[in-house]
Structure 1
């Protein structure tokens, strides 16, 4: 069979094919050829194969193109992509062969895809010129709808088939760009009430081009009651305007008569943005009123400035108002503040008249800028009379008797005020002393007279004598004795610490010193003289010594008669001492391991505190000094030399550290401990001791931390149904001392019902022996068979050097009978 074929170049187009499906394949291969001409031969071979596959009845053997130079490509170009109704545009079709050479004298047919859209002139077809171009004019009909139509250019090939190109044309007004961005400008950003601002919104598309002919809506989304977009309608909080060629709208915002912040939103879907402006309430008028416009010297009055805006309403809060004396003597008074800010239109200050200037002054309140508005008030000031005398201070309020080595005089101050409670100067004052024998005022005697200073104060000097006791000074006005007052009691003291007024305290008593270093506690001494005055003892030196650990050697009392030192845990440790009579085996307060016997006092630490003071005596004649008429009982009052009571017996034994008396104390023998000298000493080391505990972690043994029945048993026991058994749970360190404060103890059982009595966590303190908890176990067994109950204690020891948890159980078997 002989098969002849020809490639027919056909451009794809949206019109229905005029030939068989084979021709459709030809057309699409030709498109591919046009785009990749360098592969033309390869495509032609593929077309041969495709044509052969279609069968002998579908092959066109006529050479429609007249050889390889026939029409192959048509390109349609419109003079304008869009025209209005009745508008025109050219439609030019360029025809070339397969090598892109122009073809003249080719007829091109033009058509519009939408009926009634318009027509072509001079005709719907044209012949290509020497450049291969055929041109017609398309004119849209006046009554056409806005639309997009397809213009087609077609060349019909001589052997059948066509080549076609299509171009789109918009008829009528084009749709406005889609807004993508929105800007909003308010000018100015701050306006006064009843003022206006220009609001400009600009919309652009994604490419930054103006979004013209677009509805843009302005809406007041915050502060709607503060203004509107219509001067005649205060509720007009929204406005919609079509954007101009620049994608812009301009509106006017009209402020009402209230200040605040307004937020405006501009919308043109999907673009949106917001901006805010402030509405201020500038001052327009100020009214100034004084609570009292007639004052006496040094008297005060409130000044109230009411500031209104142009609408007669209060200006916005925070408006600054300035106050000044604008007429009269500027020294006639002062203001509590030169400026004040308004709250609901009101600003207040206090005007205080001078204590020495009288007359009339004009005070002015001013607000605003450009212009400044102000209001005035006339205030008249007259001289005030005396009204009172008051006690101010006694410095110091405790003095020593003469010869005590401490300050023996006090400056006593009063103040005289007028009827307006303001200080008065130049007022004479009479003073009268009531106190112990020998005390006097000024240069001598029990009376004095002085005049007040410019600040209204007046002073007299109290001097002590040889007798201690309370002193009181009465002050009255010379010109008006009925105005009178008293200083209250001023103490004239002995001036040295008294042995019977000496105490010690610790911030913490039980320290984990057997296991941890540098655990600290503060030891404080509290002292006063024999008249119970502590502030006379400022600067008194106090010495500290400890049996165990280390402590500050000395401290000095402050104004309250207290001196403190810090003790820390370290070597040396408490001495191993023999059990005291009360530390018995039966009491569970001692046990022996090898050659050592352990007891609670093995963990006790004695801290000795000393200072120089006087021994106690009974002042039988109340003259404030020790005389032969007074009682001193050596067995009660006589002090021995201070010592460290290491064995806690209360009496010094050989080997215990002691401190010799200074040489000024009679009866001392160097190197020999003295228990007293049988005479009253006004200077002698007075001393006190305090006991602390150095303890360790929980220690479990049959003598220390353990669980026993209350009867002392540790063997197997049976508890009948409904019956109970009581147990003692002991918690201690190796020396049988209770553990540090904060230690927790949890007692539990595996069966039965348990009730536990005792304090957990453990308190701080020095206690004699272990902490003991009482536990009652009740048998509620209903199972029909015996149950075994394990009774256990869990101790958590929160030391400074780490937490330790110890658990132990009752050693015997506890059976809960069925």
Structure 2
């Protein structure tokens, strides 16, 4: 069966070829391509590809022509190449096939490139295959043939272009960090036709600011036109570019690189959760989450721009075991999330266990810098029973104070000494091997390693943060003031009795902790007769809080934690950071007044309705003030009553 020939330039549905001008025509000649089919399945079916070649004078060319495909079988050779002799008309025809069953890696549905070369000119096109697909096939367009563009063969010309082809790594760590301090960039030198230029001398430099030290000033391109330059990071962060210039022609190119903070320092280790009071307890356990973020900086305060793994653990609940910080992005150099990673903590009890129950702290007047008040308790419950410790850990260096401003730790300078990371579930700043989990911090994991009195440049540094599990809480009313009055008398009473009663309201849960953020309060007055006025003070919606706890991390002398962290108070400058509790918030959220605006009845005036002995003809009644506590999952209320004259 004779197949109709599709002349060059007609687009086929599944196999298509298109003519292309050569970069040196018409002074050298032209190569055109045509196909005899409009579709080609990748099952070994044949297409006939014809090259039509003319010389510089437009006459039929003579000699040999070479066909080359990026995949498949050309002219039955079993390979991707074949060479034929042009006939008298300057034509040569080859068969082309691609069989998915024989070569699924290269013959899947997609496209391959076929070229035909004669003398110093060539033409190329993409061949689109249809049928089964494979990830190994060229990911070119599948909807039709696309001209592969001019292809020039022969000796390369003068260097016209310099392009960076690789840079490893694109982000360097600051000098002295010990992390990614060296890099290499490779450039490709080509002529005007895109052919690799070998043997060209290339001079290297860098744009301002000068952030690296180049390993060499120049080099010569290899046979494939590539040339590489190495460099070392300097002591400043920023963005620069490595430049490569061909000495003979002035052709040049550049590759941006960045120098960033690399080694995390405990002095720049930020770890916080965005919600710290989680309303977990109602009639059923509520599932609560909090987004916890780590930001890493180096000893100079630079964000750590190298992707760095951070590890997490929690006393209870669930949190990711590890996550990696966001690296510096050359396309977004001011990204505020550089060096940051965020994970989600959820209140799911780990293995069914809740927060560790603790004994209430006694008062400690010697605690520095803030004395500790005695922790309140109710039966066996106290606020810290629902405090959940979460820790973040990363490899880095201990914090120090660079007193001589030389950028390095010098013996005798103040530093914060850390031991192995552990979950301090009972909040006493001491590792308890029976009840508390620990993690490796130094070289040995066989036993817990406490602070060693020496500044460590390479160890696991860590930081804790906390959340608290709470209930909605219930209102607790103070006694009426002024004591011992419980009755609001007439405004004009003759016994000097108060006409205004005042009270305050605490809201605490069964562990004596305050309710969660967003909890709001209502205050309502009910009375059988008119004349009472209710005025509320405070009662704004709750802000986020850590229950009843005033908790902070404080730097103190390692030798004597009751003294501040100063050179005079330390041995070799060693300090520690410890968890401290100060006052305990009593949960007072609002106050209110009930004012009696009634006057003594005319028939009883002058007189009074309240104790010690009401005047004959006066009347009194009971009023009630109801306070509502409205949390995200539950609400509670309470009532306080008094009497008044009317």
**TM-score (norm. length: structure 1):** 0.40
Greater helix proportion: 1
Greater strand proportion: 1
